[in-house]
Amino acid sequence: MDWIAIASGFGVGLIVGITGVGGGSLMTPLLLSVFKLNPAVAIGTDLWFAGLTKVSGSVAHARHGHVNWRITSQLLAGSIPAALATVALMHLTGVTKGWASALTFSLGIALLLTAVVVAFRPFWQALGMRLERYLPESRKPALTVLAGVLLGFLVSLSSIGAGAIGATLILLIYPRLEARYIVGTDIAHAVPLTLVAGVGHATLGHVDWALLVPLLIGSIPGIWLGAHATRRLPDSLVRGLLCISLLMAGWKVIH
């Protein structure tokens, strides 16, 4: 199965490189359907995959000054405690059949929500501009921390949300922030969040380390090629293909 894992990593990496999102949204359904992992192990393995594949992107954006560290720190102030609390709850209650059902359902909902986010990305910026008149600067730090809490819970429970949903929340709260700063800040926040949640899942035995290595081997060239291909593909085409795949994956997971 190693060559299938490498090919899967390459395919997901290619899409992440082209669109900037879709790592967890596409990898977790693959781990469930192709590699037949149970939901908890699929989520834990994907958290490590997402965190490690985004490290290089985070470093690159930081070097170019595309990370707003104030927003990143406020997001982490909410997301890290939420992630730790979610994993602690799993420890206390045990990974039962009920938890597996909840994880599967939350994964499906997160996939469908991500599809909506990606499909209507221009709408979210327009909405953020309208909300700005009702959202003074003094309230934005607290709202950013609250957004981090939501992401920490969602990512720990489903491994999905740190990319597309995280970027959308930043866009809603800070609609005047340039796109490169939204992407850079979102990735900088996603790395520590996914790794902290990943460590928590690892303590529960929810990581398939043998499968993770070939996935990462495939993803590295995939991300590189995707980043170069994105210049030649229309954004509407890329967004449309990603939305279709997310909708199909989310519907399959829920049913």
Domain that holds residue 158: 2-254
Domain tally, the chain: 1
Q: For residues 39 and 111, give the distance between their C-alpha atoms in angstroms, rounded to a whole number.
A: 14
What does the pLDDT look like over 191-207, one tens digit per residue? Answer: 999 999 999 999 989 99
Instruction: Please check the confidence at residue 61 and state whether its pLDDT lies above 90.
Output: no
Q: Which pLDDT does position 244 carry in this prediction?
A: 74
Looking at the chain, list the stretches that DSSP marks H as alpha helix, in order from N- to C-terminal side: 2-19, 23-33, 39-53, 55-63, 69-93, 97-119, 121-131, 140-158, 164-173, 179-203, 209-229, 235-254
Instruction: Please check the confidence at residue 208 and state whether its pLDDT lies above 90.
Output: yes
What does the pLDDT look like over 171-187, one tens digit per residue? Answer: 889 888 887 788 788 88
Instruction: Please check the confidence at residue 145 and state whether its pLDDT lies above 70.
Output: yes
**Could you tell me the pTM of the whole model?**
0.81
Instruction: Please check the confidence at residue 251 and state whether its pLDDT lies above 70.
Output: yes
Q: Which pLDDT does position 180 carry in this prediction?
A: 78
Reading phi first (left if > 0) and then psi (alpha if -120 to 50, else beta), residue 106 is in alpha
Q: For residues 197 and 133, give the distance between their C-alpha atoms in angstroms, rounded to a whole number.
A: 35
Give the pLDDT band (50/70/90) at residue 241.
low
Specify whether the CB–CB gap between 99 and 89 falls below 8 A: no
Average pLDDT over residues 112-120: 76
Burial 111-140 (b: 16+ CB within 10 A, else e): bbbbbbbbbebeebbeebeeebeebeeeee
- Show Cβ contacts of residue 177 under 8 Å, excluding neighbours closer than 6 positions: 68, 71, 170, 171, 185
Instruction: Please check the confidence at residue 19 and state whether its pLDDT lies above 70.
Output: no
Average pLDDT value for the chain: 83
